[in-house]
Structure 1
Amino acid sequence: MKRLTALAVAAVATVALAACGTTEEPADENSATGGDPITVTDERGVEVTLDGPAVKVGATEWNVVEYLVSLGIQPTAVSDVKGFQTWDNSVQLDDSVTDIGTRGEPNLDTLAPLGLDVMFVTDSLVEGAVEQIEDSGVPVIVMNGGDATDPIGHMWKNVDLVAEVTGTQDAAADLKDQFDTTLAEAKEAVAATDLAGTPVAFADGWDTGEAVTVRPFTSGSQLGAILAELGLPSAWEDVEGVEGDAVYGLGQTDVEGLTKLPEDAVFWYIGGADESDVYADTLADNAIWQSLQFVKDGEVERLPDGTWMFGGPAAMTQFIDAVVAIAEGS
């Protein structure tokens, strides 16, 4: 565990040093005018051409924000800065970052004067938002938030795209090497514990006021894929009625649905941004919850807050370290 933590700290330290300037620094500090033109094709199939590596970059989705900081680029514009800082503490934003509103609908009045070289978004924006950003003179690159058929591979596909646009391919290669080392060492560490091979039901959840909704992270989710790489299969795979969506691998069930989980499963979850805990608090007196084998056996774990479940290599390293800590304490 100490070795893994050291690697993670080293990665963050590398990011902090790189934040003063990218690994492959563009010639112009204010616009994408240094180097040769860059042309990429986004998820729409649209070709986007920049004059050179982008320096002033904006992003609506937090995974891209994390990619940028990890690659040594402090974004100029970020949607919901406070939310990002609450949900993803794997990297740190500078105070100079401009908040441009919600992730689904950025504030164009705030965004337009920033003179961005490029804006990264996903297809979850409100209708017409992409076109409005482009009409303001900012090139837009649309990315998919995930791919349940290959969640880890898709994460690196997105990282590589951001690196190409910002001229930080060397930093991306280093990031992947660090991550691969962390993952390999974590797999070996978990294999040496009693937890090895145990099916894990990972979820988050919330109280709707009428009932507790459970959101399973299936094997198609990024976290589910990481767990599988560590030798911890998804406990949701054989649960009738639980199917992950095509992008994020997320399902939906309720407390009663948890009774369908295998008896040898453990249950792990992430808490809410408001420090609420539906599993420890709301369900404390729920007869169905209390009857579950993993509850009776004390095999319920809340992972550290601030680990963004849909994040990049930095957040996934946090998750891996948390899994190893649980495994070695089992």
Structure 2
Amino acid sequence: MTLRRRLALTAAAGCALALTLTGCGTTDVEPEATGSADAAVSEDCATDTTATSTDPVSLTDGVGRTVELDTPASRIVVLEWQEVEDALTLCVTPVGVADPTGFGTWISAETLPEGVVDVGTREEPDLDALYATDPDLIIVEAFAADDEVITQLEEYDVPVLAARGNNPEDPVGNVKDVFSLVAEATGRTERADQVLAEFDEHLAERAAEVTALDLPTREFLFFDGWVDGGNVTLRPYTEGALFTALGEELGLTPVWDESVNDSHGTGGLNADYGLAQTDIEGLTGVGDATLFYSNGEESGYVAELEKNSIWNSLPAVVDGRAYEFPVIWGAGGPRSTEQAIDAFADALTGK
């Protein structure tokens, strides 16, 4: 039995993008698996002393639905990687997740233990495998209460919690809100408060470092890309994208605005996630801005950039201000987001 869910991004783009490359294949599942996973292996969970609530849960999820549980959930199935990461950071191991192989490929901030059941892909979870884990809560991502994934899962007798995939008005705040939502559902609010306090402190420290730098420009652009049929497509991150917001938190100014998009974009703007599209020539529209871009080993687009004369003549490239990120999930929880903060700050400070 399968459930085909609607993607926030188009299927064609989702299968090509460097940050979501592995989420578009098919995954073999084991419906008979029961979901007896090893203990959570987040780096500091072994020494965690925060309390776990046993009180009944009544909360409003990311799309305005009321979710009530007699006790906090302990056997959760999670269909998106941000909330998988969140659970692990909270020292809660899901009994089932969508595309665990992809999670391990793209997310290094947390490690998924052995024994977690593979319940299919993020786009098309296998319901037989999912419900065989005997979950007490299923966590999904959605933007509306009538999202197809919610509507179909609500036909079964297991509560469904929907987290909002992104809030373009406050992407960093949404990372925190989703993390706190997962924590409330699992009784791990005390742990969440501790992690978020550490996150805020870390962001403030790195922002102070970047603010103190005498940079040639504070204008910046983050992008990723892919190659399709020999053509390179780039995806500039605009206002509303998490990585754009992180740059702003560090004192940088995003340069890919509506005007640049009108003159140098090639369509495909996704306002929910703050993502545009362009080609290599389109990068000339950002002038002297410093460039940051995702690791392109999987999709091969960086190798194509480096062979291109337009790329090699851009001011940021000529001046050595074009920085390739390590593999960091661009829609992760606090731990992945800290990695992105460090990638920005380390590039600029030379660490």
Alignment TM class, shorter chain as reference: 0.7 to 0.9
Deviates more, 1:240-249 or 1:88-97: 240-249
Trace 1:113-128 onto structure 2 (pairs within 5 A). 113-123=132-142, 128=148
Q: Secondary structure at the match of 1:283?
A: helix
CA distance in 2, matches of 1:15, 1:124: 31
The Cα shift of 1:210 comes to 4.0
CA distance in 2, matches of 1:282, 1:197: 26
Give 1:119's aligned amino acid: I
CA distance in 1, matches of 2:148, 2:200: 39
Identify the residue that residue 127 of structure 2 maps to in structure 1.
108
Matched, 1:49 2:68: yes
CA distance in 1, matches of 2:299, 2:123: 24
Matched, 1:211 2:219: no
Deviates more, 1:153-162 or 1:165-174: 153-162
Identify the residue that residue 23 of structure 1 maps to in structure 2.
50
Matched, 1:312 2:327: no
Percent of aligned pairs with the same amino acid: 38
Identify the residue that residue 313 of structure 2 maps to in structure 1.
291
Contact in 2 for aligned 1:76/1:97 (Cα 8 Å): yes
CA distance in 1, matches of 2:331, 2:193: 21
Which runs of 5 or more residues in structure 2 are unaligned?
1-41
CA distance in 2, matches of 1:106, 1:24: 32
Q: Secondary structure at the match of 1:122?
A: strand
Distance change in 2, residues 1:98/1:201 (3 Å):
same
Matched, 1:268 2:292: yes
Contact in 2 for aligned 1:78/1:99 (Cα 8 Å): yes
CA distance in 1, matches of 2:247, 2:151: 38
The Cα shift of 1:52 comes to 0.8
Q: Secondary structure at the match of 1:121?
A: strand
CA distance in 1, matches of 2:84, 2:73: 14
Q: How many residues align?
A: 305
CA distance in 2, matches of 1:128, 1:320: 34
Trace 1:175-324 onto structure 2 (pairs within 5 A). 175-195=195-215, 198-237=218-257, 238-241=259-262, 242=265, 245-263=270-288, 265-272=289-296, 275-279=298-302, 281-305=303-327, 307-324=328-345
The Cα shift of 1:276 comes to 4.0
Identify the residue that residue 13 of structure 1 maps to in structure 2.
43
Contact in 1 for aligned 2:78/2:84 (Cα 8 Å): yes
CA distance in 2, matches of 1:196, 1:97: 48
Contact in 2 for aligned 1:148/1:245 (Cα 8 Å): no
Distance change in 2, residues 1:129/1:145 (3 Å):
closer
Which runs of 5 or more residues in structure 1 are unaligned?
1-11, 27-34
Q: Secondary structure at the match of 1:231?
A: coil
Identify the residue that residue 91 of structure 2 maps to in structure 1.
72
Deviations 1:230-285 (A, max 9, x none): 1111121252325963321111111121111122x11111124x534412x11233
Give 1:25's aligned amino acid: T
CA distance in 2, matches of 1:131, 1:320: 36
CA distance in 2, matches of 1:235, 1:200: 6
The Cα shift of 1:68 comes to 0.8
CA distance in 2, matches of 1:152, 1:249: 13
TM-score by length of 2: 0.80
CA-atom RMSD in angstroms: 2.4
CA distance in 2, matches of 1:177, 1:38: 23
Deviations 1:63-96 (A, max 9, x none): 1111111111111111100101111110111102
Distance change in 2, residues 1:154/1:102 (3 Å):
same
The Cα shift of 1:127 comes to 7.1
The Cα shift of 1:322 comes to 1.7
Deviations 1:98-152 (A, max 9, x none): 1111112211010111111101101289974434433332211122100111111
CA distance in 1, matches of 2:152, 2:191: 32
TM-score by length of 1: 0.85
